[in-house]
Amino acid sequence: MKRRAFEAVVMAFAIGVVSTASPAVEPGGSRPESAAAPRVRLNLQPAQQETLKMTMREHLSALQAIVSALAQGDYDKASTVAHTELGFPKHHEAMQREQGFGLPAHYQELAVAHHQAAEVLAKTIAAKKMAPILLQLEKTIQVCNACHDAYRM
């Protein structure tokens, strides 16, 4: 598959999965009927909201960089980005920025699950086998989606 076509397919997938207005995606892409639970509002000050939005944009940029590197066959770069920009180094950076925000424990659990999935993604990418990479990329994005389904600004 050509690089741009590959990127377009994976980014369309990522955008669809990360949509903040949609219910959770079950494995295989189906949406459960019972996923219409209301999203919990995060009561943050405007500056805190901007900080949190910046973190989310960083996550999307990292996903784009991973997809781009995979499309170019640069597994080392994709793995490094997954680790440094989505994994625990980014989690620790975000925790420093978001210290004192009073985010719910469940939100924090989802954040840790996201970064754990990204660490598994980094290791999966290092094996250079596309099918497992895409499966783990899907799992990583599903954790993002779970948080967006549970919380809103």
Question: What's the pLDDT score for residue 17?
Answer: 42
Positive or negative, the CA dihedral 118, 138, 14, 31 is negative
Question: What's the pLDDT score for residue 42?
Answer: 95
Question: What's the pLDDT score for residue 23?
Answer: 40
Average pLDDT over the chain reads 84
Question: What's the pLDDT score for residue 2?
Answer: 58
pLDDT score of 11 more than 60? no
- CB neighbour list of residue 24: distance below 8 Å, 6 or more residues apart: 31, 32, 35, 142, 145, 146, 149
Q: Which residues pair with 40 in a beta bridge?
A: 151
Question: What's the pLDDT score for residue 16?
Answer: 47
pLDDT tens digits for 96-135?
999 989 999 999 999 999 999 999 999 999 999 999 999 9
The answer to whether the beta carbons of residues 119 and 76 sit under 8 Å apart is: no
Question: What's the pLDDT score for residue 6?
Answer: 56
